[in-house]
Structure 1
């Protein structure tokens, strides 16, 4: 028998984290677009380059951050505390690597990496 999806089974921390990361990614996307668009044709100073990392994808993933986190929660059997620790890891990453902002091109990869490390730390026996 197929398992019935119950939205109330998803912890609120997953919803909050997805909402927060969505806002951060959109803000960084818009600030990157502002930096790369020329303000005038006579501008001779190029915008500061954004560092591209191994987490940066060529295109934006089709799946939303909310759906991605719910899917990770459903199939990875992580405890809700893993998502809190994953957020702490992401916060530390951003503070130590300011040249690599969280954007819609890297948020999914950074997320799965931070959740994996958090699950290894929190849930592995």
Structure 2
């Protein structure tokens, strides 16, 4: 009896996208929560220092965790960070990319490798990890799929086509 084998090339791409979206959504939610906590600590320090400057012995106001993550801090803002949260969820975005620029499972799974390498590289170069959050995940996805499709596929789409896939989504919410 042969042991069961898994052939990635025969695995349905839609299922790969579901798994990938789930992982990326959990990762961005965790990083958003870390960013929110970091922002809250910085706000507490600012309030405390403001209160001490004013001679007040007590700082008023509690912090409430909102459902919307705060925008990236100035020191973590990158060229991939957007000014506002995209209106499309990660699964829908990956499905949209697959619909208009079909590619193999390898292209989508390579995103995980790219994101890991970017994080490690940033940590080595700057001493701070590259945080993937709700403000930059969509731009990182489209750039990663574009690069990986050019690497893995003999036939790939132009940068202009990827830009249109991204921009049509952005224009829909206006």
Alignment TM class, shorter chain as reference: 0.7 to 0.9
**Match in the other structure for 1:33:** 36
User: How big is the alpha-carbon RMSD for the aligned residues of Structure 1 and Structure 2?
Assistant: 2.1
2:148 to 115, 118, 121: 118
**Could you tell me how far apart the structure 2 residues matched to 1:107 and 1:116 are?**
14
| TM-score after normalising by structure 2 | 0.59
Larger Rg computed on CA atoms: 2
Which of 48, 59, 65 is the equivalent residue of 1:42? 48
> Residues 35 and 49 from structure 1, CA distance in 2 versus in 1: closer, same or farther, beyond 3 angstroms?
farther
**Structure 1 residue runs without a partner (length 5+):** 1-8
Q: Which has the higher contact order (CA 8 A, sep 6+)?
A: 1
8 Å Cα contact 2:90/2:138 also seen in 1 = yes
TM-score by length of 1: 0.81
Where does the alignment leave 5 or more consecutive residues of structure 2 unmatched? 1-11, 51-72, 124-128, 156-174
Q: Which runs of 4+ in 1 moved over 4 A?
A: none
**Cα pair 1:10 1:70 within 8 Å, conserved:** no
